Structures are given as C-alpha cells and as structure tokens.
C-alpha cells in the first residue's frame, strides 16, 4: 500500500496540486498509437497490475483527501450536482454496497465494513468517519446512500436505468466533469445524451456501445479510457461554471503551456448493479500537467503527435482549439521523430 496522501490540495483558486513521481509513473496514459480516433475501446474491468490505476475497481490515490474536500464543497453549495429520480433508490443502495465492499476489501488499512444482517458499520480512517447504519433505510444516514458514499469516493458516478432497450441517465453525483451537466442530461436516454459527440453517431459507435451495455453482466464490469485537456488542475469544469474556467483557455502562452495545460484522462468503468438491474458508471478523473507528462520521453513524443494530428472536429468538441498549437509547439522540443513502441507503457 503505502500511499503518501496529500492533505492540502486545492482544485480551484490557488491550485495546490502536483503529481509525485510515483503518481506520474502510474498515470493512465491513453494513447497506444501516434494518432487518436474513436473506437469502442472497451475491455473487462479486471484487476490490473499491482500499483496501477487498474489494480482495484475503485482506485484511491494520493489526491484522495483533497478530492473529497472539493466534492463536499461543491455538494454543500450546489445540491443539484447530486440527483436521483425516485425509482433509483434501490440503485443508490447498490452503489453504496458496491463501493463500500470494494474499498474495504482493497484498502483494508484505510476502510472497513462490518455487516451483521442489515446492520452495517463503516469506517473511513482517511476522513475520520465511523458510521453505523441500517442497509436499506436511508433515514439512518446523514445523506441519501449514493451521496453518502460518493462524498468518500474519488471520481463521478452516474446511474443508468435500463428499460425498453435503452439506458436512461436517472441519477448521479457529478462534480469532476469535463464540461457536461447531470442536471441538464437527467432523464435522457443513451442516444440523447451522446447527441453532441461528433463523428461517433455516423461511425455507429454509439449504437454498438449501447447494444453492448444492455447485455452487461453482473460481476463482469468493463472499462475504457477517455481523455481531454484542461487548463489548470481544475476538477470542476462544469458548464454551470464556464465563466470561471472558460477564459483560462486564453491564458496559455509558449512560456507557461507546460504548467497550465493538463492532460485529463477519465477511467470510465461500468458495473451491472444487482438489486436494481441498473448500470453504475464511474468516471474517475486523472490530471497531469504537460510538463510532468513530458518527464516520460515516450509520452511526450506521442502526446505531441496525437495533438498535432487530431481531427479539427474532435479538437473543437474537446475545447482544445484555442491553445492546441501552443501546446504542440511546446511539446515539439521533445520529439525527434523516432519510431515509438506501440502501447501506453512509459518505455
């Protein structure tokens, strides 16, 4: 184990955030090739290499305390960042059970769960929480079950109800998102909420992904990586707060590009939930400055090539257009044009 948890991180205003060398080494770099294009790049969410972000279903890392603090701050001031339609209460309990079971099993030094029938006791040593409650009785927790457990989890969570051959976004806790809004998407079906994604509909990616997910099996979760870029290590790039972060994109200069521009990678995992038959979608965000990324020579070269060749529609959709050329220039010093090994490994 031995994670050195940081205690003073912030993801806004003064941006106190950095990745340790160990965190850089385990960063989920998403580009196996020099060019990026969509694919239904789904694989089993099976336990990955020890120490990697894939080792456990829910990854806890050195940023845990700061991220939980950031989530609490947002939920306290903007309650509509956590929403669940009434028929999703069973899925909320499924969520709580899945995450508590996972964390207690995978990080016994930090979390524990004792179950005696429906009388459960949860301990979170990192946040100093000890909570006895009755599983299935929301009045025994200080928040609804999904909010309760998500305040102690890194990454966002979306609940999809499955009915009539479609998936409906009927709940979630979303505070670390790449420019989309749960409040806006709530109640939409899978095809509707993917409406703005360019090219993917024409390629049939959305329909194939939906057909696959409708058959997602209990105990066989799947995952994929998605990516974009963010200026500053800002977790909450929500449309609601666009006026605060949108202008940052005009601040990137040849001198500060390596510090300001961050690669933002989402480890997205999908779980069939047992009692509700809903699907839980975890979106775990990892941020790394381009400067830190460039400490790995292969990643610097590949990032340079991916950004340079990215189709304009995708650059627009991801919001990179204004500063893409500046970051490409900044990275070009690392790229001698040599052939790179396939795959995402650092060497």
Partner 1 sequence: MSFDQAIDVRVTDIEAVTPLIKRFTFEALNGDALPAFSGGAHIVVEMSDGERIHRNPYSLIGSPWDNGRYRIAVRRSEGGRGGSRYMHEKVAPGARLRISPPVNLFPLIKTRNKHVLIAGGVGITPFFAHLAELRAMDVPHELHYAVRSREHAAFADELAGMIGDRLRLYCSEEGQRIDFGALLARQPLGTDVYVCGPEGMVEATFAAARAAGWPESHVHAEQFASPPSGEPFEAVLANSGITVQVGAETSLLEAIEAAGVDAPCLCRGGVCGQCALDVIECEGELVHHDHYLSPEERKSNTKLMPCVSRARGGRVVLAL
Q: Which helix (H) or strand (E) holds 132?
A: strand 129-134
211 binds partner 1 (CB under 8 A): yes
Contact, 264 vs 230, CB < 8 A? Answer: yes
Which residue among 37, 129, 220, 250 contacts partner 1 (CB under 8 A)? 220
Tell me the closest approach of the beta carbon of residue 200 to partner 1, in angstroms: 21
Which residue among 8, 116, 215, 339 contacts partner 1 (CB under 8 A)? 215
Ramachandran angles phi, psi of 273, nearest 5°: -100, 140
Q: Interface residues for partner 1 in 265-284 (CB under 8 A)?
A: 274-277
Number of residues that bind partner 1 (CB under 8 A): 20
338 binds partner 1 (CB under 8 A): no
Q: Interface residues for partner 1 in 152-171 (CB under 8 A)?
A: 161-164
Tell me the closest approach of the beta carbon of residue 129 to partner 1, in angstroms: 24
Q: Interface residues for partner 1 in 59-118 (CB under 8 A)?
A: 85, 87, 90, 94, 97
Give Cα 57 distance to the centre of its chain.
12
Give Cα 329 distance to the centre of its chain.
28
Contacts of 26 (CB under 8 A, 6+ apart): 51, 52, 53, 61
Tell me the closest approach of the beta carbon of residue 21 to partner 1, in angstroms: 38
Contacts of 42 (CB under 8 A, 6+ apart): 209, 212, 222, 223, 224
Contact, 222 vs 54, CB < 8 A? Answer: no
344 binds partner 1 (CB under 8 A): no
Q: In 3D, which of 270, 164, 158 has the Cα closest to residue 218?
A: 270
Provide the phi-psi class of 219: left if phi over 0, else alpha when psi is between -120 and 50, else beta. Answer: left
Tell me the closest approach of the beta carbon of residue 164 to partner 1, in angstroms: 5
Contact, 121 vs 131, CB < 8 A? Answer: yes
219 binds partner 1 (CB under 8 A): yes
Tell me the closest approach of the beta carbon of residue 219 to partner 1, in angstroms: 5
Q: Interface residues for partner 1 in 164-203 (CB under 8 A)?
A: 164
| Interacting residues with partner 1 (CB under 8 A) | 85, 87, 90, 94, 97, 136, 161-164, 211, 215, 217-220, 274-277
């Amino acid at each position: 184990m031995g994670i050195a948890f940081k205690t003073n991180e912030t993801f806004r205003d003064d941006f106190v955030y950095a990745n340790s060398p160990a965190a850089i080494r385990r960063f989920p770099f998403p580009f196996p090739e020099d060019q990026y294009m969509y694919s239904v790049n789904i694989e089993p969410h099976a336990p990955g290499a020890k120490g990697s972000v894939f080792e456990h279903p829910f990854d806890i890392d050195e940023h845990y305390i700061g991220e939980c603090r950031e989530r609490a701050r947002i939920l306290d001031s903007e309650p509509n960042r956590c929403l669940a339609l009434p028929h999703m209460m069973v899925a909320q309990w499924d969520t709580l059970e899945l995450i508590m079971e996972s964390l207690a099993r995978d990080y016994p030094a930090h979390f524990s769960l004792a179950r005696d029938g429906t009388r459960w006791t949860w301990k979170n040593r990192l946040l100093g929480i000890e909570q006895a409650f009755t599983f299935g009785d929301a009045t025994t927790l200080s928040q609804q079950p999904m909010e309760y457990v998500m305040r102690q989890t890194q990454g966002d969570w979306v609940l999809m109800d499955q009915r009539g051959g479609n998936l409906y976004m009927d709940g979630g806790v979303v505070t670390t998102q790449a420019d989309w809004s749960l409040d806006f998407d709530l109640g939409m079906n899978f095809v509707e909420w993917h409406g703005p994604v360019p090219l993917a509909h024409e390629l049939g990616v959305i329909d194939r992904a939906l057909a696959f997910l409708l058959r997602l099996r209990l105990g066989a979760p799947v995952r994929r990586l998605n990516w974009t870029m963010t200026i500053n290590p800002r977790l909450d790039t929500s449309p609601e707060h666009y006026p605060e972060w949108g202008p940052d994109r005009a601040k990137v200069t040849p001198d500060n590009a390596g510090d300001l521009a961050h690669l933002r990678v989402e480890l997205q995992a999908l779980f069939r939930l047992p009692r509700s038959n809903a699907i839980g979608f975890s979106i775990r965000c990892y941020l790394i400055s381009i400067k830190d990324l460039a400490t790995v020579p292969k990643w610097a070269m590949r990032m340079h090539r991916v950004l340079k060749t990215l189709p304009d529609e995708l650059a627009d959709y991801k919001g990179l257009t204004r500063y893409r050329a500046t970051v490409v220039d900044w990275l070009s010093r690392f790229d001698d044009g040599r052939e790179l090994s396939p795959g995402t490994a650092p060497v």
